[in-house]
Amino acid sequence: QRFRTNRTSTIKRIEILKESVKKMKSFPNYSSNSIWGLRILVLSLGLALCLPNLHPSAAWADSSQKLYKEARKGFISLRKMSVKRQTRQAWNRCLDRFHRVIENDARGVFTDKCYYFLGRSHHSLYKIYKEQQDFNSAVVYYRKLVSEKPGSRLADDAQYLLATLFYIRDEASAY
């Protein structure tokens, strides 16, 4: 289905390009040498529009998106497990996946989401193991999200989770 849709839109684009070349022939100063230059220009632009997925950044974006989806899926499945089955090793694999997404995401499209899930992962680890390093890491990632991506829709969630994290540790410090 998707291939058929892309193929149809590509065929339409090529037809539009052919029509524009035909229209160029009707210009008053038409000569065969100048029209060939225009044809090559129009066709090369057309190919650039028809084949956007061949650009390396598109492949990079696809791989970042794929890595993010896998990392998020791992996080969700880990959260669904009972606390007794959630091992530190499994959480560390989850953390590594989100770090890999950040390293792979050149444009920073998934950075806010990764900071959020890194904070959530460390938050969960702190709830289970009560280790200070997990608390500190959760605070770092929540604050990074709020400071580096304040316009993100996850920034206010991070602030709320930061307050709940402090509340878990010490009710007085949450205010």
Question: What integer pLDDT is reported at residue 122 of this predicted model?
Answer: 97
DSSP secondary structure code for residue 174 in this structure: G
Question: Is residue 45 a contact partner of residue 90, using CB atoms and an 8 Å limit?
Answer: no
Token pair recorded at residue 153: 């829709």
Please tell me the pTM assigned to this model. 0.66
pLDDT in 10s for each residue of the chain, 175 residues: 444 445 566 677 677 767 766 666 565 555 555 666 666 666 666 655 555 444 444 555 679 999 999 999 999 999 999 999 999 999 999 999 999 999 999 899 999 999 999 999 999 999 999 999 999 999 999 999 999 999 999 999 999 999 999 998 887 665 6
In degrees rounded to 5, what are phi and psi of residue 18? -60, -40
Q: 3-class DSSP state for residue 81? A: coil
| CA–centroid distance for 88 within its chain | 26
Q: Residue 156: its pLDDT value, please?
A: 97
Give residue-wise pLDDT tens across range 108-125. 999 999 999 999 999 999
